[in-house]
Amino acid sequence: MKKNNPIIAIVFWSLVSFLTLFPIYWLFVISVKPAVQLFSTPDVILSDPYWGNYAKVWGDRLLRSYMVNSLVISTGNALLCTILGFFACYALSRFKMAGKESLFFWTITNRMAPPAVFLLPLFLLMTQVYAVGDFRLLDTRIGMILVYCTFNLPFAIWTLRPTLDGIPKELDEAAYVDGASSWKVITEIVFPLCRPGLAVTLILTWVFAWNEYLLAATLTNFNARTLTTGLSEYVTTTGTEWGIMATISVFTLIPALIVFGLVQKHIVAGLTFGAVKG
């Protein structure tokens, strides 16, 4: 190992961290400024913070329900995508199914669609086709969980495939020889070995779902509205409520930060993307 001067590294990283943190810091500054001060000459240093926006956002019954919806939808979607993605990748990696590589690529293409134009058919399907009696999928949490699969499931499959490919087939085969069932092999042998990859997939799909805006804005109305759609309520013809928007943004960051913090150590281990020694 080479000898490095830690001072240089620390100075370098402090600089990079400053650039990384500044916009986030600025978001916070906006959230604690009264509206009247926002459009005067900007001060870098924060003085005399104003917490009125936080009181307002926290006291807003609707925003609290949006927060719950966001949590349920992104957690449900991330779990669903990670588990289904794991099963799918296991199948793609272990079986010699005809056309499986094309199938693999096809699943990924679902993420490439420009979303704007797909809103209309999704709206029609979710109001008229995916409906039983009075129940329709539009504006439901389960509906959003399923819709988000269109971009998160491909991502999960894309990140998990190398992980699954990296686990030697001999392990499964040895277990089968010992008389283990398929279910047991998948859940008790392969699954634990994939943990880092699964953790990363879980967190990144969670973040993508948590941050999604356009689909949620169109496909929810009252019951399943998410925090990001709550943001758009503050862009109005009589002025954008930047302070409130920034405060909501800070609130959206907190759960994301917690979830990210929890799996931080797995992230690097999980993002192997085919660099595994095979």
Partner 1 sequence: MQSNRLGWILLAPTLAILFFFGVLPFIYVVYVSFHQWNPFAADPTMIFNGADNFRKIVFDAEFLNSVGVTVLFVLFAVISELVVGYILAQAFMKEFPGKAIFRTIHTLPLIMAPIIVGSVWKLMMTPSIGIIPHYLNEWFGITVNIGTSPVAAFATIIIMDIWHWTPLVTLTLIAALVSLPPDPFEQAQIDGANKRQIFFHITVPMIAPAVVATVFIRLMDALRTVDEVWMLTGGGPGSATRFVGVHIFKEVFPKTNYGYGSTISVIVLYLTIVACWLLYVTMLAPRSKKD
Partner 2 sequence: MNTVFKLAASALALSFAAGMANADDAFWKEAAAPYQGVTLRGVTESSPPSLYIREVLAPQFEELTGIRVDIETTSWDQMFDKAIKDMEAGTGIYDMVYIEQDIVYSYLARDFLTDTTQLLADNPALKAPTYDEGNFTTFADYFRGENGHLYGIPMEAFIKIYLYRTDLFEDPEIQASFKEKTGRDLAPATTHAEYTEIAKFFYEYGQENDLQLWGATVQGHTGHPASWYEYVETVAPTFGIYNWGIDADNNYAATVANGGEMNSDTAKEALQWWLDLRQYAAPESNQSTWTEVGTTFGAGRAAQGLVYGENAGWIAADDTKSLVVGKVGVALPPLADGVMAEVEGGEGYIGYYDGGAFGLPSTSKNKEAAALFLEYIGQNEVQPDWAVAAPRVTNTATYDDPKVQDMNEELGGYYDMLRDKGYLFAGAPAYPFHAQLREAMAPTFYSILTGDSSVSDGLDKMAEIAEATLTELGYRK
Distance separating alpha carbons of residues 138 and 210, to the nearest angstrom: 18
Three-state DSSP class for 113? coil
Q: Is 103 in the site for partner 1 (CB under 8 A)?
A: yes
Q: Is 56 in the site for partner 2 (CB under 8 A)?
A: yes
Q: Is 246 in the site for partner 2 (CB under 8 A)?
A: no
Residue 177 touches which member of partner 1, partner 2, none, C-beta under 5-8 Å by kind: none
Q: Give just the sign of the alpha carbon dihedral 25, 258, 197, 212.
A: negative
Please compute, for residue 228, the number of CA atoms within 13 A of its CA located in the half-sphere on the CB side: 19
Q: Which residue has the tokens 């109001």?
A: 127
Q: Is 134 in the site for partner 2 (CB under 8 A)?
A: no
- Binding residues among 79-118 for partner 2 as defined by CB under 8 A: none
Site mask for partner 1 (CB under 8 A), range 126-165, x = bound: ----x---------------xx-xx--xxx-xx---x--x
Strands 131-132 and 135-136: antiparallel
Q: Is 233 in the site for partner 2 (CB under 8 A)?
A: yes
For residue 62, the minimal CB distance to partner 2 (Å) is: 9
Considering only CA atoms, which of 43, 13, 48, 276 is closest in space to residue 164? 276
Residue 99 touches which member of partner 2, partner 1, none, C-beta under 5-8 Å by kind: none
Site mask for partner 1 (CB under 8 A), range 244-263, x = bound: -xx--x--xx--xx--xx--
Q: Is 237 in the site for partner 2 (CB under 8 A)?
A: yes
Q: Is 68 in the site for partner 2 (CB under 8 A)?
A: no
Task: Give, in degrees to the nearest 5, the angle at Cα 264 between 260 and 270.
Answer: 110
Residue 274 touches which member of partner 1, partner 2, none, C-beta under 5-8 Å by kind: partner 1
Taking CB under 8 A as the binding criterion, the range among 10-18, 141-149, 156-164, 233-241 that sits at the site for partner 2 is 233-241
Are 200 and 159 spatial neighbours (Cβ–Cβ below 8 Å)? yes
Q: Is 128 in the site for partner 2 (CB under 8 A)?
A: yes
For residue 251, the minimal CB distance to partner 2 (Å) is: 17
Are 86 and 158 spatial neighbours (Cβ–Cβ below 8 Å)? no
Three-state DSSP class for 137? coil
Q: Is 234 in the site for partner 2 (CB under 8 A)?
A: yes
Token reading at 271: 């993002």
Site mask for partner 2 (CB under 8 A), range 191-220, x = bound: --------------------------xx--
Buried b (16+ CB within 10 A) or exposed e, 59-70: eeeebeebbebb
Distance separating alpha carbons of residues 199 and 160, to the nearest angstrom: 10
Q: Which residues bind partner 2 (CB under 8 A)?
A: 34-36, 38-41, 52, 56, 119-120, 123-124, 127-128, 138-139, 217-218, 221-222, 225, 229, 232-241, 244
